[in-house]
Amino acid sequence: MNPLDYVVPHFEVIRNFDRCTNCRACERQCANDAHFFDPKTQTMQCDDSKCVNCQRCVCTCPTHALKIVENDASFRRNANWSGEAITEIYKQASSGGVLLSSMGNPTSNPVYWDRLLINASQVTNPSIDPLREPMETRVFLGKKPSETVRNPDGTLNTDLPPQLELETPVMFSAMSYGSISYNAHESLARASRELGVFYNTGEGGLHEDFYKYGANTIVQVASGRFGVHEDYLNVGAAIEIKMGQGAKPGIGGHLPGAKIVGDVSRTRMIPEGSDAISPAPHHDVYSIEDLRQLVFSLKEATRYQKPIIVKVAAVHNIAAIASGVARSGADIIALDGYRGGTGAAPTRIRDNVGIPIELALAAVDKRLRDEGIRNNVSIVVGGSIRNSADVVKAIALGADACYIGTAALLALGCRLCRTCSSGKCNWGIATQRPELVKRLNPDIGCKRLVNLLTAWRREIMELMGGMGINSIEALRGNRLMLRGVNLNEKELEILGVLHAGE
């Protein structure tokens, strides 16, 4: 190899030879072929350059002989040129390629959730113990009537536009079959049914085996329209039009032909080996009026039985965009922040395009309220919701519910090694290789997702109870329940919250 092309391995696999029994489990578990047995020395060895730090070998080693550490071999310290920045130059100079990354933006920009603090009742009003008192976490997503309508006989007209009913204000965000495995989809689908929430097909169509989970499925329509047909539209509980994604606003997707095999080809309804290209825009949507047309074409095709979600990435003018979407006939707006996950996105776009979801959400909620159209739509936010406190803060900032993607994958075993696009996920999540997919047992996957959201729901109830609030409805947009720390005046203004101490 040309020394110019050599990149110092990112990780170092450290083996405790006192514990290693040469059982070769690590070798069998590693789809990256990092481990191998050296017959000369009769020991297990490792090619560090192949290690992605997915921790599979660490977790499966029967004697716990392995650990993976960041390689401390470094360039000369430079506050401007980080090791990563230097290595990226080498990669591009050597390949001429666009840098491609997986999972959400890992940069150290502020996480506003961590600068918001939640209120609690003391003395002047009672907190509520969720163990002994009813606590409502159920939400309905969809257009709400702005006035009371009575029938001619004086009774209340209770006809509502279609709503999604969630037992917990958290849903699994769009991840396509193709980007994640059959077993991952099955885990999400079954968990959604058990939890009374929804998962989202992403833009890759819906596998025929999962039609039975339709009542807990959101089907997505993206610019490539893969797998979109009448049955698909009708089987879902709601239809999501994907206009954009937080990890890569403004660009489309490209699942290479090599990954369009077997079931993935069937589900996307394109031939095996054919590239699945999702163009950046929908070529029939160049304006809010056009969006309205797409929304109503879907409503007509599904007889007005399904709420229509429009998913947009959080970008600079998001408040104005959301105002347009709220007038387009959409029932729900999904906002995806710049930290949102992805199977693959150009690094530069992922790390530099879009805005934080916290600011976008606050701006959108305020704008829709100011314009008197907040009840036209529900707001769902994603793009890094990491725990139940993030959910509570999001709702207090004005969201109706949250989408989680990365958190759900972590529950399934993901170690955030960020190499999804290689298709060699050792945890059976972001891969289509049968021998890897079977490592994810959908029974266990489903159980872990149910555990996660059950725990979050309990925490949400405790946080709400502490505030003296017994219903999610009373928390939504209740920004008095939040205070800011480490925020400047402009940030506080946009978030619409007071500083701690005020």
Q: Which residues pair with 378 in a beta bridge?
A: 332
CB atoms within 10 A of CB 243: 21
297 binds other proteins (CB under 8 A): yes
Task: With residue 370 as reference, give the H or E element that holds it.
Answer: helix 357-370
- Count residues contacting other proteins (CB under 8 A)? 47
The residue from 8, 117, 277, 373 that contacts other proteins (CB under 8 A) is 277
Q: Does 101 participate in binding other proteins (rule CB under 8 A)?
A: yes
**Cβ 225 vs Cβ 277: under 8 Å:** no
Convert residues 244-273 into a mask of x (bound to other proteins by CB under 8 A) and - (unbound): ----------x-xx-----------xxx-x
Using the rule CB under 8 A, give the single segment among 144-152, 316-324, 344-352, 383-391 that binds other proteins.
344-352
Distance of closest approach, residue 300 Cβ to other proteins, in angstroms? 4
Nearest Cα to 175, choosing from 358, 314, 343, 288?
343
Minimum CB distance to other proteins, residue 289 (Å): 10
The two tokens of residue 140 are 């309905």
Using the contact rule CB under 8 A, the part of the chain among 106-114, 166-174, 277-285, 450-458 near other proteins is: 277-285
Position among 228, 391, 408, 482 found at the interface with other proteins (CB under 8 A):
228
Structure tokens of 387?
Answer: 């725990």
Alpha carbons within 13 angstroms on the beta-carbon side of residue 360 total 28
Q: Which is nearer to other proteins, 376 or 419 (CB)?
A: 419
**In the bound complex, what is the minimum distance in angstroms from residue 251's beta carbon to other proteins?**
11
Q: How far is the CB of 4 from other proteins (least distance, A)?
A: 15
Distance (Å, whole) CA 418 – CA 421: 8
| Amino acid type, 442 | P
| Partners of residue 31 on adjacent β-strands | none
Binding to other proteins by residue 501, rule CB under 8 A?
no
We find the least distance from the C-beta atom of residue 366 to other proteins, in angstroms, to be: 32
409-468: contacts with other proteins (CB under 8 A): 419, 421-422
Among 200, 302, 432, 470, binds other proteins (CB under 8 A): 302
Kindly tell me which of 39 and 96 has the beta carbon lying closer to other proteins: 96
- Is residue 278 exposed (0-12), middle (13-18) or buried (19+ Cβ within 10 Å)? buried
Alpha-carbon distance of 416 to 198, in angstroms, equals 23
Nearest to 357 by CA among 391, 381, 326, 332: 381
Among the candidate windows 60-68, 209-217, 218-226, 431-439, which touches other proteins by CB under 8 A?
Answer: 218-226
User: What is the nearest approach in angstroms of other proteins to the Cβ of residue 379?
Assistant: 26
> Could you give the dihedral angle defined by the CA atoms of residues 239, 243, 249 and 251, in that order, rounded to the nearest 10 degrees?
110
Question: Can residue 10 be called a binding residue for other proteins (CB under 8 A)?
Answer: no
186 vs 377: CA distance, rounded Å: 30
Query: What three-state secondary structure class fits 453?
Result: helix
224 binds other proteins (CB under 8 A): yes
- The answer to the question of residue 284 lying near other proteins (CB under 8 A) is yes
Query: Which of 303, 372, 489, 502 is in the footprint of other proteins by CB under 8 A?
Result: 303
**Considering beta carbons, is residue 239 or 446 the nearer one to other proteins?**
239
**Taking a C-beta distance cutoff of 8 angstroms, is the pair 68, 46 a contact?**
no
Return the structure tokens found at 95. Answer: 């390949």
SS3 126: coil
Nearer to other proteins, 278 or 384 (CB): 278
> Which residue shows structure tokens 């006939």?
329
* Per CB under 8 A, 233 contacts other proteins: yes
Task: Kindly list the residues in this chain that would bind other proteins in the complex (CB under 8 A).
Answer: 88, 91-92, 94-101, 223-225, 228-230, 233-234, 254, 256-257, 269-271, 273-275, 277, 279, 283-284, 293, 296-298, 300-304, 344, 346-347, 419, 421-422
